[in-house]
A and B are shown apart, each in its own frame.
Chain A
Amino acid sequence: MPTDGADKPLAELRAILLGPDRAAWEAMRQRLDNPTRRAEDVAGVLAEAVRLRSRGHSGSHPDIKLRRALQPLLEEALQLSVQSNPRMLADALFPIFGKAIRRAITSELDGMLQSLSQTLEQSFSWRSLQWRWESFRTGKPYAEIVVLRSLLYRVEQVFLIHRDSGLLLQHVAAPPAQATAGTPLEKDPEMVSGMLTAIQDFVRDSVSGAESENLETVRMGEIEVVLAYGPDAILAGFVRGVAPRKLSRVFQDTLDVIEQKKAEALHTFSGDTSRFDSCRPQLQACLLGQGRPEERTSGSWGARALLFGVPALLVLALIGWWIYANVIERRWTDFAHRLESEPGIVLTHAEKRGSNFYISGLRDPLAADPASLLPASLSSNQVEFHWEEYYSLVPRFAAQRQLAELKGQLQKRAFRFTTGSAEIPPEQRFLLEDVASQMISLIQAATALGKTVQIEVRGNHDPVGAEELNAALSRSRGENVRAALIALGVPAARLIAVPEDIEKETCSAVKEEERLFCRSASFRVTGVL
């Protein structure tokens, strides 16, 4: 405001004219300059201002500018709220979302359970066998066949029912040729509709009592009743076969559309059903179906027997053959084990080729004969042995071999005599001790093996001379040697003097030096092997 000298009178005039208002203006200026005061003023009218703005000025259309202006602020504020304290918003939204989520989860779980129970049922049933066969025959995946065949159903009748009175508003049925004509259900839809409502009342009153809880499905043998509820009407479908879960949704959606379109007619319904004639197309659209359930039961017993019996017989035959082959195999294995445990036999290879059994290995000549070990249940024609001989170090076999060796050595010994004499010549006497010790070793070795040996002492003569004299000479030579050996400690019971005629050996040497070998006493061991 200018305050120089020229303006002074003007200022005075102004003070005279505006004096009383100046204080008010000053107060106003202070209010405008003071942010705190200004905020208080705006706070006082903010709510009313927003309300006015959202309704529109003086009855005009609501102004969307405010909404647009507030939108980013609100979004940001919500974001901040979620970041700083998510729980608050979650608590606020829970009553809305909780219910919706529970419902969605329940619906999904129901669907899963239904498909699970169907799958289980189908896994072990006659039907599943048919489907597996069909899958095999047509080359389609098994899962596709299951989906094609398992959800066979047919909506045969659809009832639109007034909820309060149970009166039938509209009714549609599938073509009679395919629907099951003659069932009581078709006789009077009016009464069926009333009774359905009555049954729902009854179930609600006696089971749950809650007004909001409703029967969702009713099953009677092959027929399932699928129910959808609206505020004023009920949509009921009689379904033959297995109603898929989605059918309930189709019914509910259809009913929602009808409730919306016919809200007025439903509210004021007083018995005139002609107002609902226009709903027929919607109801007819609910007459859904997949396949023909009755086809599932077709198929003659002969075809079934062929389909099921032949594979069953094959399976039985296979099982029988498998058991038999196992038994035979087991017998061969047992036999091979038995051979392995037999002393003096080492199996190197045992295998089955076709119906025959091949066994090869090492065998001590003293070991038991493998063929004699075959059990009666196995035929010797079916087995082929290949043995390489070897000497086993089994003590029994070693002892047997030693015994055989001692026997061989002893049987090579002999005493020579001069012509016509049975006396052991003095130059032969030194042999006696040696032979006696051989005999004692032999007897001991045999006893250790549990055998009783007999040693024959055979007297012999040359072909010269009289027969009688020769026979006496032979006997005397044997007896003399025996007596000499007994005297040297050989057990008398094991020594037998044998006259030559028993052996009927003839010594036919013609030269003197050969005849010397005929005038002898030699030994033969029996009872060793």
Chain B
Amino acid sequence: MLKKKICMVGQFGVGKTSLVRRFVESIFDERYLTTIGVKIDRKDVTVGSESVTLMLWDLAGEDDLAQLNVSHLRGASGYILVVDGCRAASLNKAVELQRRIAGQLGPLPFVLVLNKADLRDRWEVQDTAVAEHGWPTFETSAKAGSGVEEMFLALAGKLLQ
């Protein structure tokens, strides 16, 4: 049995927690996020014949006041950058976070998630702005539940490579 630690990061309010809520096992209250800055969920995926347990560290969103607690990133095998398609600033934040995490943990597999795909017509984030980074990108909708499973599978596949 393989186990991997995955961190979920992104700007405050991009929908990290609601994105995974329906797809993971959880025993902890979401209030943990606001009190100690992290909540841990579990996601089991099977890639090919290999099953992987992803321990998801949902880190409290970063904003002007709260900084990401970098000690929570230690030992992570990969991470998920979450962006709110309706907020261009959240992409900038994701880019900045990616740079900081790569600086701290070195090159690790990660995916970019553009959330709120159900509100595609109101998106501020331009496809070109996303494409210029060349990162593996998934469009998801926490509301409709689309794209989330695929995203986990893809990330798990990258971890096993």
- The yes or no answer to B161 lying at the interface (CB within 8 A) is no
Total interface residues on B, using CB and 8 Å? 28
The answer, yes or no, to whether B21 is at the interface (CB within 8 Å) is no
Give a binary string over A101-136; 1 marks a CB under 8 Å from any B CB, 0 the rest: 000000000000000000000000000000000000
Asked if residues A187 and B36 are in contact (CB atoms below 8 Å), the reply is no
Whole-angstrom CA separation of A195 from B40 in the bound complex: 6
A34 shortest CB reach to chain B, Å? 66
Q: Establish whether residues B27 and A184, one from each chain, have CB atoms under 8 Å apart when the complex forms.
A: yes
Q: Which residue of B lies closest to A194 (CB)?
A: B40
Q: What chain B residues lie within 8 Å of A201 (beta carbons)? A: 38, 69, 71-72
Cβ B55 vs Cβ A190 within 8 A: yes
Residues A191 and B41 in contact, CB atoms below 8 Å apart: yes
- Once the chains bind, are A164 and B75 in contact (CB under 8 Å)? yes
Q: Which of A267-275, A311-319, A415-423, A446-454 lies at the interface? A: A267-275
Also in contact, A190 and B57, with CB within 8 A (given A184-B27, A201-B71, A271-B52): no
What is the total number of residues of chain A having a CB less than 8 Å from a CB of chain B? 26
Interface residues of B in 90-140 (CB under 8 A from A): none
* Residue of B with least CB distance to A198: B38
- Chain A contact residues, majority secondary structure: helix
Q: Within 8 Å CB of A190, what residues of B?
A: 3, 42, 53, 55
- Give chain B residues whose Cβ lies under 8 Å from the Cβ of A167: 3-5, 55, 75
> Taking the complex as formed, is B157 at the interface, i.e. its CB lies under 8 A from any CB of chain A?
no
Contact in complex: A162, B42 (CB < 8 Å) = no
Nearest-neighbour CB distance to chain A for B40, whole angstroms, equals 4
Beyond A167-B3, A190-B55, A201-B71, is A271–B38 a contact (Cβ under 8 Å)? no
Per-residue contact bits, chain A 246-289, to B (CB 8 Å; 1 contact, 0 not): 00000000000000000000000011111000000000000000
Asked if A324 is an interface residue, CB under 8 A from chain B, the answer is no
Contacting residues, chain B, for A192 (C-beta < 8 A) = 27
Residue-wise, chain A 185-202 has the 8 Å CB interface mask toward B (1 for contact) of 001101110110011011
From known contacts A162-B75, A188-B27, A194-B55, infer whether A199 and B3 are also in contact, taking CB-CB under 8 Å: no
- A165 touching B77, Cβ below 8 Å: yes
Contact with A along B16-59 (1 / 0, CB 8 A): 00000000011110001000111011100000000011010100
Considering only CB atoms, which chain A residue lies closest to B6 in the complex?
A165
A190 to B72, CA, bound (A): 16
In angstroms, Cα B84 to Cα A325, docked, is 88
Q: Complex: how many Å from CA A346 to CA B53?
A: 104
Tally inter-chain residue pairs, CB-CB below 8 A.
76
| Contact with B27, one of A165, A191, A204, A205 (Cβ below 8 angstroms) | A191
Give min CB distance, B103 to chain A, whole Å: 17
For residue A162, which residue of chain B has the nearest CB? Answer: B75
B74 to chain A, nearest CB (A): 5
CA of A270 to CA of B78, assembled, Å: 11
Shortest CB-to-CB span from B9 to chain A, Å, is 14
Which of B2, B36, B57 is within 8 Å of A271, CB to CB?
B2
Q: A241 in the interface, Cβ–Cβ < 8 Å?
A: no
Point out the residues of chain A lying under 8 angstroms from B66, CB to CB.
Answer: none
Distance in angstroms between the alpha carbons of A191 and B36 in the assembled complex: 15
Name B36's closest neighbour in chain A (CB-CB).
A202
Minimum CB–CB distance for A122 against chain B, Å: 36
| Interchain nearest-CB distance for B110 vs A (Å) | 16
Within 8 A of B (CB), among A138-187: 162-168, 184, 187
Closest chain A residue to B59, Cβ basis: A198
Residues of B within 8 A of A199 (CB): 36
Chain A residues with CB under 8 Å of B28's CB are: 191, 195
CB-CB nearest in chain B for A274: B1
Find chain A residues with CB under 8 A from B153 CB: none
Contact, CB under 8 Å: A165 / B42: no
Report if B76 contacts A (CB, 8 A). yes
Contacts A166-B55, A205-B69, A270-B77 given; indicate if A191 touches B40 (C-beta within 8 A).
yes
- A242 to B89 alpha-carbon distance, docked (Å): 52
Docked complex Cα distance between A194 and B72 (Å): 10
Contacting pair B27 A187 (CB below 8 A)? yes
Sample 21 A-B pairs with CB under 8 A, ordered by A number: A165-B5, A166-B5, A166-B57, A167-B3, A187-B27, A188-B27, A190-B3, A191-B27, A194-B5, A194-B40, A194-B55, A195-B40, A198-B57, A201-B38, A204-B71, A205-B69, A270-B77, A271-B2, A271-B4, A272-B2, A273-B1
Interface residues of A (CB under 8 A from B): 162-168, 184, 187-188, 190-192, 194-195, 198-199, 201-202, 204-205, 270-274
- Given contacts A195-B40, A271-B3, 5 further A-B pairs with CB under 8 A are A167-B3, A190-B53, A194-B57, A204-B71, A271-B4
Instruction: Please provide the 4 A-B residue pairs with the shortest distance between their CB atoms, ordered closest to farther.
Output: A165-B75, A164-B75, A194-B40, A165-B5
